Structure 1
């Protein structure tokens, strides 16, 4: 990596002061890693829980005598000027603190997230967006507002979609043709051949009717062998049936894929994604084009994979992958014969990053924004797709819609549509709001089924995004036609 050369040669400042909103698992890791990260200072941590905000500094080993509470931006500025670190339960003050250059938004609450992001942009601060629930709903508009204000709006390294966006941009920059790309789910399916069991390795709680481990019949074990040439579709379909009782991807997985699709232009093959359980060696076999034995009708397809592996094998580590080829025959020969993993006819090769370090590696995005004034996304961020929700059970009028971890709804990725009665609702414009009518199980939730909250900045920015982008896309489509 050449980050240190870039920082030393082109930085517009010596250090970057970050205000971090949200002290959950991800946000806390940003804080705890900062003392060991050159040029980075997390000078403010805000959370609605003062214990969580202060606790992030405690976990980071900060000298707690130098950590002080502030209720106002003015008080926080004084503390920082005197060499202290600030914690607060007033996230709304972070964007108003003069010493803060980058606001890292990781509250996880879309309505709050957009409010803090807009406030920071209006105050001339860069914004690093961790809250994917906000990014998927209004990220393109926030990026445009930031550009108009002369500041940066960026996804972050450490989050899978942020890493996939950069991986894709790198592949295109060296002339690779991308056939598919995606992220690994955090859980991995560990196949013990001797016992005939498959167990999910995950740190997430497992909810009924899902189970942590299944036994595979002797008859079905053949479908867990290496996918033979030309049989990808059949093997993937049978595996999905056999492994269906193990935990499957959640709406949060599809949310990250949607953000990455909006940044890169990669397209999902189906609205719920194929999500194949695959060995690393099988990814180029299954996730290439159908003409070469794969599952996809076209290149630039985006999807999920859960790593299927033996207990003694390494996995994908929640990382990201691309299936690529070189369009020059000699280049492709080098690509497929120098240690990379190709498919059977060597028309596709998987390259992968078997890790994502969450908040530990987010510093690169924060430093790029604060030192160089650039983001770690791509230039063409548009609302190509929406994450929409389907009722998983009957939902009664007056019930409050949950977030992406709530089992009351499942997710689909659909072409983006504006806020209007009858249109499928953007998933995170539902979060925390109430159903206006009874919604039977299996129903795609539309805007006329939700009570729009009064004074919602999230809905306001979404409508602004609809006018700015969807009208542009409609006009372009007419010209192209």
Structure 2
């Protein structure tokens, strides 16, 4: 990495002052890295829970005498100028603070996130967007508005989609052809061949009907061995059935891949994603073109993988991966014979990053924005796809829609469409709002099935995005297909 050289030679200011809104696990990690990160100071932390906001600074090792509560811009600015860090339960003061250069939006609440991000942009503050629920809904319009205001709107290193976007851009910059790519789910399937038991390692709670471990029937165990040449489709299908009782990827996983698709132009093979359980060595075997033994009809796909491994094997660590090739024969020989893992005919190799450090590594995106005025995403950020929802059970009129962690709904990825009756509703325009009709299980949720909230900034921004990027009949995806 050459970040230190870039900061030393091209920085537009000497230091970056950040304000964090949302002191959950991610936002807190940004704060706890503050004392160890050169050139960065987190001057304010906001959360509706004062204990969470104050606790972020205490976890970072700040003495209580060095932090102060404030609930107005004027009071907060005085404390910061006196050398203290401010915590507050009034998030709206953060984007208004003169001493804040960049707002790190990590509430996880799409409506609130839209309000704070827009306020920051209007006040000529950079925005590091951590709330993927907002980004997947109105990210393209926020980025456009930020560019017009002369500030940066950026995804972040630490989030898997942010790391994936950077890896994708790197691959393009060195002339690699990207066949496919995506992220690893946080949970990994550990299969012990000696006992025939498969289990999941995850930090998330496990709910029925899923189980933490299962015993594999003797006749099924062969399908958990290395995929033989030419049998990727068969093995992936059998594994989906065999391992289906272990916890599966959630809507939040598809949400991140929707953002990545909108940044990169990569396309999902199916609306649910394949999300196959794969060994690292099997990724280039399965996630390449059908003409080379893989699953995809053509190159340029995005998907998920759940790492399948033995207890003593390394995993993907919730990281990101690309399946690539070189279009020059000599270059491709170098690619596939210098330690990279190839497929059977060496027409593809996997490159992977087996970790994502969440807020611990987000400072690179914050500093790139604050010091250099550069975002760590792709330039071509368009609303190509929407995350939409299907009712997982009957939903009654008046019932409130849940978020991506709710078992009430399951997700799909579809070409984006504007807000209009009959069009599939962008999933995070549903969150916290009520169903306007009874919705049977298995129904795709459309805009005429949800009560639009009065005065919603999120809905307003989405309509502005629709007007600029979408027509009633077309999305960027359908236009591209018709032009081809």
C-alpha offsets along residues 195-253 of structure 1, whole Å, 9 cap, x if unaligned?
10000000000000100000001110000010000000000000000000000000000
Give 2:87's aligned residue.
87
SS at match of 1:142: helix
Unpaired segments ≥5 residues, structure 1: none
Tell me the TM-score normalized by structure 1: 0.99
Give 1:480's aligned residue.
483
CA distance in 2, matches of 1:333, 1:286: 20
CA distance in 1, matches of 2:122, 2:390: 36
Give 2:362's aligned residue.
362
Give 2:443's aligned residue.
443
C-alpha offsets along residues 160-194 of structure 1, whole Å, 9 cap, x if unaligned?
00000000000000000000000000000000111
Structure 2 counterparts to residues 330-341 of structure 1, below 5 A: 330-341=330-341
Give 2:140's aligned residue.
140
- Alpha-carbon spacing, 1:203–1:297, altered in 2? closer, same or farther (3 Å): same
CA distance in 1, matches of 2:457, 2:364: 29
Structure 2 counterparts to residues 284-299 of structure 1, below 5 A: 284-299=284-299
Structure 2 counterparts to residues 18-29 of structure 1, below 5 A: 18-29=18-29
8 Å contact from structure 2 (residues 415, 475) kept in 1: no
Deviation at 1:63, TM superposition (A): 2.0
Backbone CA RMSD of aligned residues: 1.2
Give 1:66's aligned residue.
66
Structure 2 counterparts to residues 31-110 of structure 1, below 5 A: 31-110=31-110
Give 2:256's aligned residue.
256
Unpaired segments ≥5 residues, structure 2: none
Structure 2 counterparts to residues 389-400 of structure 1, below 5 A: 389-400=389-400
CA distance in 2, matches of 1:161, 1:64: 36
Stretches (4+) displaced over 6 A: none
Structure 2 counterparts to residues 5-20 of structure 1, below 5 A: 5-20=5-20
CA distance in 2, matches of 1:304, 1:350: 14
CA distance in 2, matches of 1:478, 1:379: 21
Give 2:219's aligned residue.
219
SS at match of 2:470: helix
CA distance in 2, matches of 1:84, 1:374: 28
Deviation at 1:480, TM superposition (A): 3.4
8 Å contact from structure 2 (residues 416, 475) kept in 1: no
C-alpha offsets along residues 367-400 of structure 1, whole Å, 9 cap, x if unaligned?
0000000100000000000000000000000100
Tell me the TM-score normalized by structure 2: 0.98
Give 1:186's aligned residue.
186
Give 2:349's aligned residue.
349
